[in-house]
Amino acid sequence: MCGIIGIASYKPVSVNIINSLKKLEYRGYDSAGIATIKKDLIDEKKCSGRVDELEKILFKTPSDGNIGIGHVRWATHGIPNLINAHPHSSESVSVVHNGIIENSDELKKNLLSKGLKFKSQTDTEVITILITEELKKNKPLVSVFKTLNKLKGSFALGIIFKDFPNIIIGARRGSPLAVGYSNKENYLGSDSYALKSMTNKISYLDDGELCVLSKNEVSFYDFSMKKINKKVHIVSNDENMAEKGDYKNFMSKEIFEQPITVKKCVNEYIDNLKKDINIFNFPIDPREIKKIYLIGCGTAYHSCLVTKYWIEELTNIDVETDIASEFRYRNLKFDKKNLYIFVSQSGETADTAAALDICKKNNVKTCSVINVIESTIARNSDWVLPIHAGPEIGVASTKAFLGQLIVLYILSLKLASVRGEITKDIYIKNIQNLITLPETIKSILKLESKIQMMAKEFINARGTMFLGRGSSFPIALEGALKLKELSYLHAEGYPAGEMKHGPLALIEEGLPVIVIAPKDKYYEKTLSNMQEVISRGGKIFLLTDNKKDALSENIRFGLRVPHLDNLLSGILLTVPLQLLAYHVALLKNCDIDKPRNLAKSVTVE
């Protein structure tokens, strides 16, 4: 979950490394560092905290050198401090690392027994010392290769060498790594997004591969050290979508650009003239699909849960949802008539990528619903459905969640249509509802001032609860997750019908409880559950799309959103929950874009 950048150039690289690290900071922000080769010495500078602090250090004592590596860290081994910050350097080598070395304790014990010294608590320093020892006998590529053979776990590495001051070596196992190309300058990055400001020509390392960069050349090697060729991808530049503009932070920008991104996504998949959905080339004939598995982590998993309700409502297909970190360790019975759908914003989520790999090894058909089409998960899937949300920088996902929901809803409709399980009239009506969705979301965003008033009620709360039934239950889970991520307030989502089976014990005088109650078949039962909360002193915040019923005087706040269709109510009711979490966090002076202990792209197990 850390960020890596490496540049081999004909000119000093430190300024470009810092600029790239700023773009990668959403991947890790507890410490930062840079190392360059300066007059045959490794010039390492690092700090605890953000890239801005590192930039101040470099302003006072600049780092020269035409070869360099940089890093932003999300701590795994060792507390966030200066000593544990990357790079980790010896006299002859400097290493930046994303991932976890699972046998680091064993390796470290062996190295200590030989009299070698460690400065940090990290697993990464083991790599530095192993390569340093190998360099006494071998050249850099062989030294790295021999070191990698001793490592268990996942890694993306960037490595520079004092005595070979013109090269950077990169290596990948499990964690993503990309290479960028330019004139007299080549790049290494854990994220293609950080490279796009410098080049649109990018290659991606696969597991077990290494690369050697100089300013004029890039060479690739497989796990047996055989030289290989890699495809060069021409990627789009979304720089304009990755700038804050006049917004306070990326999250508010990403919430308020949802009408635009939703419209773009809908337009990509809907043929307005034919009133049809442009999804073709299914890896399995939809009429022969026996079961669908939906797999994701965090917010992406919540989109899977919502989709289960949709597919079951629209088709006769059995649906199972799985958290990726659980799926990969289950004793599964794979079936070639099943379709396995993986959902991930970054396309690099470690557990999701590992679960996909298991499916590939069992020769079943896979689909990915993804935001980054050049990502590992996208490249390894049989079928890719992009969400077209553009770069999402805020750690807490907003527009990508809506994008996932929309693509999965569109897929659900198409499956039902191809299988002949909904009528043509219902199919066309649902497509029309999708077309009007962006304007409807725009109208909900105008409710922000009311939601700001609601947010004040959460400042002194000890915790809160989100309740929903049917497809509103996963929306409750997502609302609770957003509030947890952003405001650090304890929040839980529950099925409203489960209140009497334990959670009711948590209700006390003044406890804020958000009730999500669209006008669907669960509406009356949800209101009954709400009364159970009211009678025990809970403070109700009701979100609904029902225009008819008067809001009860026992409700602290009521918020109505427009009604489109029962199946789409979850998408619409998500937006107020995003704004609520945002404004509670703002009032509590929390770091909106970079919540504590979290990182955007979770590339370790």
The pTM (predicted TM-score) of the whole model is 0.85
Where residue 238 falls among pLDDT bands split at 50, 70, 90? Answer: low
Winning range, highest mean pLDDT, from 181-195, 469-483, 500-514, 535-549: 469-483
Evaluate if residue 77 carries a pLDDT over 90. Answer: no
Q: Quick one: DSSP state of residue 398?
A: S
pLDDT in the model for residue 76: 78
The answer to whether residue 312 scores a pLDDT higher than 80 is yes
Rounded alpha-carbon distances, angstroms, from residue 568 to 60, 308, 456, 520: 55, 14, 29, 11
pLDDT band at 80 (very low <50, low <70, confident <90, very high): confident
Query: Per residue in 13-45, pLDDT tens?
Result: 999 999 999 888 877 778 999 999 988 899 999
Query: How far is residue 309 CA from its own chain's centroid?
Result: 23
CATH number for the domain whose boundaries are 239-445: 3.40.50.10490
Separation in Å, CA 332 to CA 250, 308, 423: 40, 19, 35
Cα 372 from Cα 386, distance rounded (Å): 7
CATH of domain 3-237: 3.60.20.10
Helices 124-134, 104-113: inter-axial angle, 10-degree rounding = 50
Residue 221 has pLDDT above 90, yes or no: yes
CA distance 381 to 377: 6
Mean pLDDT of 92-117: 93
Which tokens hold the place of 434?
Answer: 């999708």
- Residue at 187: amino acid letter: Y
- Domain boundaries, given as residue ranges, for the chain: 3-237, 239-445, 447-596
How high is the pLDDT of residue 131? 97
SS (H, E, C) 52-100: HHHHHHHHHCCCCCCEEEEEEECCCCCCCCCCCCCCEECCCEEEEEEEE
Which listed residue (108, 399, 482, 600) is catalytic?
A: 600
Structure tokens at 389: 């949300």
- Asked if domains 3-237 and 239-445 share a fold, the reply is no
Catalytic residue among 2, 47, 265, 304: 2
Range 447-596 classified under CATH 3.40.50.10490: yes
Q: What is the rounded distance in angstroms from the CA atom of residue 33 to the CA atom of residue 26?
A: 15
Per-residue model confidence (pLDDT) at position 263 = 95
Give dist(CA 206, CA 360) in Å, integer: 15
pLDDT band at 549 (very low <50, low <70, confident <90, very high): low
> How confident is the model over 145-156, as a mean pLDDT?
93
Q: Which amino acid is at 136?
A: K
* Residue 197: band (very low, low, confident or very high) from pLDDT cuts 50, 70, 90: confident
pLDDT for residue 335 is more than 80: yes
Using the predicted structure, report yes or no on whether residue 436 has a pLDDT greater than 90.
yes
Task: Specify the pairing of strand 67-73 against strand 31-38.
Answer: antiparallel
The residues, ordered by sequence, that sit 6+ positions from 142 with a Cβ below 8 Å of its Cβ are 134, 225
The answer to whether residue 600 is catalytic is yes
Report the percentage of the chain scoring pLDDT > 70.
97
Tell me how crowded residue 383 is: count the other CB atoms within 10 A of its CB.
17
Known active-site residue 2 = yes
Q: What is the mean pLDDT of residues 556-583?
A: 93
Q: State the pLDDT at residue 426.
A: 95
**Mean pLDDT across 65-76:** 90
Please report the pLDDT score of residue 74 as a whole number.
77
Mean pLDDT of the chain: 92
Give me the mean pLDDT over the 37-65 stretch: 91
pLDDT the model gives residue 203: 94
Task: Please say if the pLDDT value at position 551 is more than 80.
Answer: no
* Cis peptide preceding 87, ω within 30 of 0: yes
